[in-house]
Structure formats: structure tokens, C-alpha cells
Amino acid sequence: MKQHLFLASLLMLAGCMSGPDYNGPPQTAAQAGAPPAFQRTGDIPTDAEAGVARWWEALGDPSLNDLIARALANNPNVAVAQARLRQARANFRLERANLLPNVSGTTMYAHAHLPGVNFNQSDSNSNQSNTTDLNLYNLGFDARWEIDLFGGQRRTAEAAEAQAGAAEANLADVKVSLSAEIAQAYVNLRDRQQRLQLNGQSVALEEQVLALTRQRFASGTASAADVADVESELESTRADLVPLNAELDAYLNELATLTGQAPGALDAALRPLAPLPLPPAQIPVGDPASLLQRRPDIRAAERNLAAATAKVGAAEAARFPRLSFMGIIGIGGTKLSDLGHLDDFAALVAPQLSWSFLDFGRNRARVTQAEAARDEAEAQYRAAVLAALRDAEDSLSRFRNRRAAVATLARSEASASQSVQLNAQRYQAGTITLVNYLDVQRRHLAAQQQLSTAKANLTNDFVAIQKAMGFGWEQPANP
């Protein structure tokens, strides 16, 4: 009776949970002091509403949309993150199943050939040994179940669930980074194409200037130094084509591999010249509070903190007694028909209580280790929050200043274009030479190259804003 009372009292403890309960991430100083809006937007025309997951569609480039769709479907890094997510979810199911009994069945047949023993000493044949053949048939079931007295297994399942959430956030983070990487590589590709075209036009103009200068030298109106200067400038312009072509090939290779294809697979589709995509008129940014809830790296850090907190409880539970039950039921006999005698069975129930109370501080050390891991996860969460806020403000500042640079270079290009038109009239009127007119055209091409590069950098800064804000992924319908 006392044993039953003791077991009953232990079972009543099964609702206990060791360790601290996780009540959400800590309120960091950065979050507490975060303003309601971003500070570095300046005169950027922003939208207070958060952007859409498929932010790249705002650039209005079907080729870019197709590349990102291919990358999200075929990129190996996405496949790695998806596999890790499946592993984490399977581990959670495993840990949850460990809360339930483990039941297994066994079937056995044995044939024994045993030496007999004759206990009748008066038998004249007592010195002769007999043998016995015996058949054994058995059908049995056994079950094992550890009662989760102090919540250690439940804490382990809780940690596994949080780790599955972190794996899901890591998958989203891979998608965010991948979409931004694809977009920036594509923008750089189109920029190099524009610059190659403009540089080729500059080479053609300088070749005309060189031919005219040589004619003047032959007629005695130009010196050998003038010819050498033009030749040097022409060769310098031609040399600029070499790195531009190399960079163009590198971006084609990057886009191919990011979409899960071999280098060169996209050359035919992307080598033709196409316009440079430009950012939309309004930039969706949301606010700092929505940023911290949306960025996948912060979500992953928060889930890792939840897992580390649960592991403290699992380590705490290991310091207390463990109660497990083992049960065996078996039927059988020496004949196959004995397996049908269901009322003739053997049964065993064996509760076991174990407690490692004298471990010389091992469990206490494990608890301290788990607490330190939780503190590390909390510090990593705070670092992720600070990094996200800084990333957002830095990207907004770069975009704002780049807009000013693009506006300045656009005015410079417009002036150079107007200068070309005015000097064309002067050349037709005979007030300037063809060499002077070609030199004005070269300066216009140089201004166009500078403006093209600035526009590409502006679009890349827009992409950086989308990445900093955590856009580029969608919450799955059935997580």
C-alpha cells in the first residue's frame, strides 16, 4: 500500500516543469528607444506601409522577375535551408513522440536438444544419458514509458519546436539575401552593358579625332606631340573595355550559378542590350517596429533564444529522480496451438525509479552550461536587433545621398547634351573645327557613362533597402 502511495505521489508531480518559462524576447535598449520612424529618410519619398514580398516587381523588369523565380526554385542554398528545415521539423516530431510509450512486439520460435538426467539410481541403465527435444513458441509485447515528472522531456520538445522555427526563419533569410544578390548582379550586368556601348562610341569618336589629327600633322597644322596625345587617349579608352568585358562575363556567370545553372547558360538570353531598371517613385519602408518583427535573422535569433531557454529546463530536470515503467505480456508454450490460449499468459510490470543524486556536480555544471548558452543567445538577439536598425538607417542614408548625386549628374549630362546641340550648329556654320566638335561629343559620352553608373548604384541602394527591411519572403500557409 505504501508503495502505491509513493508511486501515486510521484505521478502527481508529472505536471511540474523545471527551469524558466520563456515569455518572449527581452526588450532591448535599442527597441525601447527606437523612434516611431526611421531617421535617415530625409527627402526620400517613402511609403509608411511595409513593402510586398515580391519587391523586385516594382523595378518593372520581366527578365529580373524570371531570374529571381528561377533562383528561388533551383538555388542550392535554398535547397540546403529547406533540408535543414525538414530535419528540424522531424526532430520536433521525434521529441514529441518521446513523451509517449514505446511499444514493440516480438515473435519467437526455439528448438532445444537437451541432455536428460535420470534420478533413479537403481536403474541398471543409470550410467546412460537420455536426451530431450523441446519446441518453444512465444508471442509477446513489451512497453517502456518514462514519466516526465519534472518536464525535462517537454522542455526538450519545446526546444526542438523553437529550433524548427529558427530553421524556418533561416530559410526566409536565405530567400531575402538571394533575391537581393540576384537583383544587384542583374543591375550591374545592365550597367556594364550600357558602359560598354558608350565606351565603344567614345573609341569611335577618338579614332576619328586621331585620323583628323594625323591629316593635320601631314599638312603641317598639327605637331607630332598632338598626334601622340590623341593616340595615348585612344589607347586608354580602349583599355577601359577590357575590365568591363571581364566584369560582364563575371556577372553572367554569377547569375547563372545563382539560378542553379552552369556558367554560360544565360549568355544567349542576357547578352543583348537592355535598359537599366530604376527604383520606383516611392520607397516602401514601414517603421522600425515592423522591421524588427519582419526581418528573418531577428526571428531566427529570437527562436534560438527560446530554444536555449527551454534547454535550461531540460538540464534542470536531469537533477531530479526519473520514473519509468516497463511492461511485458507474453503467450505461448511448447506447441504452436498454445499461441491461441489468450487466457494463459505471462505478465510483468516493473516500475523503476532512478536518481543520480551523487554526481559530484555534473548536473549542476550542465545547468550552468545551459544558462550560459541562453545568455549567449540573448546577447546574439540584442546584437541582431542593433545590426538590423543600423543596416536600415545606413541603406536609407546611402540611397538619399545617391539620389542627390544622380540629380547632379543628370543636370551635368543635360548640359553636355545641350552643348553638343549648340556646337553642332557652330560646326555647321564653320566657326569650330570637326576636332573640336568631336571633343564635345566625347565629353557628352563621358557624362552619360557617369550618369549610368550613378543610376546603377542608386538601384543597388534601393535593393539594399529591401534587404535591410527584410522584404523578399512570405509566411508559409501551413508552417
Is pLDDT of 348 > 90? no
Please give the grid coordinates belonging to residue 288. Answer: 522600425
- How high is the pLDDT of residue 334? 66
pLDDT: is 359 or 128 the higher one? Answer: 359
Mean pLDDT value across residues 350-360? 76
Q: What is the pLDDT of residues 381-432, one digit of tens each?
A: 999 999 999 998 999 999 999 999 999 999 999 999 999 899 888 888 888 8
- How high is the pLDDT of residue 8? 52
Q: What is the pLDDT of residues 201-211, one digit of tens each?
A: 988 888 888 88
What DSSP assignment string belongs to 93-150?
HHHHHTTS-EEEEEEEEEEEEEE-----TT-TTTTS--EEEEEEEEEEEEEEEEE-TT
Is pLDDT of 121 > 60? no
Is pLDDT of 118 > 50? no
pLDDT confidence of 268, banded at 50, 70, 90? Answer: very high
Please give the grid coordinates belonging to residue 428. Answer: 555647321
- How high is the pLDDT of residue 119? 44
> Any idea what the Cα angle at residue 19 is, between residues 31 and 5, rounded to 5°?
155
Give phi and psi for 174, each to the nearest 5. Answer: -60, -40
Beta bridge partners of 283: 46
- How high is the pLDDT of residue 299? 93
Residue spans of the domains in the chain: they are 20-100+149-320+368-468
Architecture of domain 20-100+149-320+368-468: Up-down Bundle (1.20)
* Amino acid type, 259: T
Instruction: Specify the 3-state DSSP secondary structure of 353.
Output: strand
Average pLDDT across the chain, whole number: 83
Judge whether 297 and 388 are in contact, CB under 8 Å.
Answer: yes
pLDDT confidence of 332, banded at 50, 70, 90? Answer: low
- How high is the pLDDT of residue 261? 94
CA atoms within 13 A on the CB side of 268: 1
pLDDT: is 345 or 219 the higher one? Answer: 219
- How high is the pLDDT of residue 359? 75
- How high is the pLDDT of residue 426? 87
Q: What is the pLDDT of residues 229-240, one digit of tens each?
A: 888 888 888 898
- How high is the pLDDT of residue 31? 62
